[in-house]
Amino acid sequence: ARRLVDRYLAAHPDGGWLDPTATADLLDCYRLPLTTTVWAPDEHSAVLAARGLRALGHRNSAVLKAYWPDQVHKSAAGAVRTGLGTDREVRDAYREFTAAHGSRMAGAVVQPMAAPGVELLAGVVQDEVFGPLVVLGLGGTATELLDDRAARLAPLTQADLPAMVAELRTATLLSGRPGNPPVDLPALHRVLAGLSRMATDLPQLAEADLNPVIARPDGVLCVDARIRLE
Ligand code: ADP
Ligand code: MG
């Protein structure tokens, strides 16, 4: 992870948001479960990537996301298309992106469509005084509507992991009830622990934002991650 960050900062001395490939590589260093994310620099690569995901057994349709540097809110900018089931749908979506976003678009990423679950956010923010904080909250489209978050200074202790989950009003959605199994809490704890390690290892980590992390009884999976270095 340190090598990756040093290399990135050598090429981008002012830091900034990592591109999709570097983001995936850095998350992988901490076993943070990002869904399969294939970089596609052009339309043909996007079609092939979606086909490859189908061949690998991802029976659900594909998701295509346009990428350009410093993008903020992809869905609001019309840069996310879900539920693409065929080559043609992928190609048409890519063409629509090119028409809408023009030359600022550097390419796109292709992902398999994740199964639904509770959409959480998890991340790292820097506190001016205390340093890195690990954050967990309700994510997805509810992020702004219901400001439900827990935060702890890194490094997290073992006791912080369940305590952060329990602190959320959303905790009732996670812990299950009769007929409705709980989400995979150990996997969620590992995400928090991984973020904590990333924050303590890397002083150059300005911000990490995993949103959503989709929590389900059979595991947790992040489908969108942004990381900024300074
Ligand atoms: P942004 O947060 O920049 O708008 P996201 O990549 O988070 O873009 O996509 C917006 C929403 O689309 C997510 O909150 C999620 O609900 C859905 N989504 C994105 N990628 C996937 C995926 N691979 N599988 C299922 N749903 C997805
Ligand atoms: Mg998102």
Separation of 223 CA from ligand 1 center, angstroms?
Answer: 6
Euclidean distance between CA atoms 183 and 136, whole angstroms: 15
Domain boundary among 87, 112, 137: 112
Task: Dig out the tokens for 88 from the structure.
Answer: 């043609």
Q: What is the ipTM of this complex?
A: 0.99
Q: Which residues of 77-116 are buried (b: 16+ CB within 10 A; e: fewer)?
A: eebbbbebeeeebbbebbeebeeebeeebebbbbbbbbee
SS3 113: coil
Distance CA 53, CA 71 (A): 25
CA of 225 to the centre of ligand 2 (A): 7
Q: Which one of 83, 112, 141 terminates a domain?
A: 112
> For residues 195 and 205, is the Cβ–Cβ distance under 8 A?
no
**Count of domains observed in the chain:** 2
pLDDT by position in tens, the chain (length 230)? 999 999 999 999 999 999 999 999 999 999 999 999 999 999 999 999 999 999 998 887 999 999 999 999 999 999 999 999 999 999 999 999 999 999 999 999 999 999 999 999 999 999 999 999 999 999 987 677 778 999 999 999 999 999 999 999 999 999 988 888 999 999 999 999 999 999 999 999 999 999 999 999 999 999 999 999 99
Q: Can you point out the beta strands (E) in 93-180?
A: 107-112, 118-127, 131-138, 149-153
Tell me whether strands 118-127 and 131-138 are parallel, antiparallel or unpaired. Answer: antiparallel
Q: Which domain holds residue 12?
A: 2-33+116-229
Q: What would the two tokens of residue 51 be?
A: 């086909």
Pairing of strands 225-229, 219-222: unpaired
C-alpha 159 to ligand 1 mean position (Å): 31
Collapsing DSSP to helix, strand or coil, 127 comes out as strand
Residues 49 and 159 in one domain: no
Same domain, 175 and 136: yes
Pocket test for ligand 1, best of 58, 220, 224 (most atoms within 8 A of CB): 224
Same domain (yes/no): 27, 52? no
Question: Which residues surround ligand 1 with Cβ inside 6 Å?
Answer: 35, 63, 65, 73-75, 80, 82, 111, 113-114, 119, 140, 211-212, 223-224
* Ligand number with the minimum distance to the CA of 111: 1
